[in-house]
Amino acid sequence: MASIRYFLLDPGFEDFDSHHGSVAETLIGDASSTRKTITVLASKKLSNSVKNLKGKIIPFFTTPCYTNNLEPLPAFKENELAEKFQAELSDLFRRYNINQNDVIVLHTAFSHLFLGLAKFLSCIPKLHIPKLIVCGMFDPGIASPKFMDEAMRYSWFIKNKLSLSFLARSLPSEKLVFATSCNEYKIGYEALTGASFLIHPAINYQPSQPFSREIKGRKRLLLFVGSVKEDKGTSFILNNSEHLCKSFPNVDFVLHWNTNSPGSIEYKHAESQLRRLGSRVNNFDVLFGTLTTEQYELLFDSVQGVIASYMPNKYKYKTSGIFWDVLRRSHCNLLCSKGTWLERESNFMEERAYFFDYGDIDSMIRAIKEWEIDESSVDLNSTQYKNAICRSFSEWLLSRF
């Protein structure tokens, strides 16, 4: 029996410093023990580092995933990019002779990619259309805005409704799996498509090791990790790290500063500032550069708390991989900005989390104090919803068909 071929369409996979790289590597590794093969079609911006994955990651797409600072595109540009993606899909299907026995996966996309895929599939005889797994990674939008600041969400609702409804009509329902990452999104996507959406596991899931750090009387708190973006409260954390270290002498602080992240260019003095701080105080560590998956996991395994000082106006409806990294660790708690998706999801899941006002150092200090003295902040609860999220994304995906 021939192996089932999975083709992961990922135009947003431009480097290895994001979830795109970890998803691809995990899928390729997990598929190797099955009768299924994975081919990842990434952006042509991807570097030559793909060579170490034996040709299973192919720089292919020139159509971008991330555009216009993540704001809705004008209609003409949306259609232009959709048609470009449609043409690239046509080339892809010819090159690999993709057919009804194969599975296409699109795990991270905006409406212009959904639209391009729908246009392409609508031109294929239904008998020859492959199976399709589509994940709603981003906020689906809102159908009935009540305030002026919700106009952008209404625009996303219209664009997603048009593209995803078109996609749902382009192939038989038994060949299509729709899924998304949280209950909020599930409700939104089902409202705009009329189709059923599953909740898939956290896309950045990695199996966690049992917590083994034993430093009596001390806790360790992660201040910042991952790609460098101002909407993650970067400047605020940099400006207040020393104050936090001195305010909590019995807490060990650690910060990851990815000098390879494009956003780090905006913070010219950050590296030298962090190195000086590490030499001045004895409860501060800093990690530089890109972390391997193993290093990243070990970092989270070593802390009991993670700060997510995210801008509420950017993360009000935006999910966070950091949230899921904390969620699957029974020894670790989230400390995050109020007014964000992270706060709502923590409350919805009844997780032990601590909240502060964004940009308010006194509020953050109060949250850290509460976390520091709270001895009940371990052995977190387990629910059906949480268990559905805290499991292998690749195993879930490979078992759909």
pLDDT (tens digit per residue) in 203-215: 989 876 655 545 4
Same domain? For 15 and 149 the reply is yes
Question: What pLDDT is stored for residue 87 in this prediction?
Answer: 98
How many structural domains comprise the chain?
Answer: 2
pLDDT score recorded for residue 362: 98
Question: Do 50 and 168 belong to one domain?
Answer: yes
Residue 213 lies in a domain: no
User: Which residue ranges in the chain fall short of pLDDT 70?
Assistant: 1-2, 48-55, 208-217, 376-381
Can you tell me whether residue 3 is helix, strand or coil?
Answer: coil
Picking from 349, 368, 103, the residue whose alpha carbon sits closest to that of residue 243 is 368
Q: Does the residue 212 lie in any domain?
A: no
* Domain presence at residue 381: no
Same domain, 138 and 246: no
In a shared domain, residues 194 and 229: no
Cα 164 to Cα 189: distance, rounded to the nearest angstrom: 9
pTM tops 0.85: yes
Residue 231 lies in a domain: yes
**Does residue 378 form part of some domain?**
no
SS3 category, 29: helix
For every residue of 209-274, DSSP letters joined together read PPP----TT-EEEEEE-SS--GGGTHHHHHHHHHHHHHH-TTEEEEEEE-TTSGGGGG-TTHHHHH
Convert the pLDDT of each residue in 184-200 to its tens digit. 999 999 999 999 999 99
State whether 167 and 225 are in the same domain: no
pLDDT at res. 316:
95
pLDDT of residue 81: 98
In a domain, 83, yes or no: yes
Domain housing 192 = 4-206+390-398
Q: How far is CA 238 from CA 275, 290, 296, 361, in A?
A: 12, 18, 20, 12
Same domain as 239, residue 187: no
Q: Are 169 and 249 found together in one domain? A: no
H or E stretch at 43: strand 36-43
Q: Can you give the CATH number for the domain in which 180 is found?
A: 3.40.50.2000
| Pair (189, 256) in one structural domain | no
Residues 98 and 72 in one domain: yes
pLDDT at 62: 96
pLDDT at position 194 is 94
Residue 138 lies in a domain: yes
What's the confidence (pLDDT) of residue 287? Answer: 97
176 with 257, same domain? no
On whether both 298 and 156 belong to a single domain, the answer is: no
What pLDDT does residue 22 have? 86
Question: Does residue 228 share a domain with residue 187?
Answer: no
Is residue 323 included in any domain, yes or no?
Answer: yes
Give the pLDDT score at 3. 80
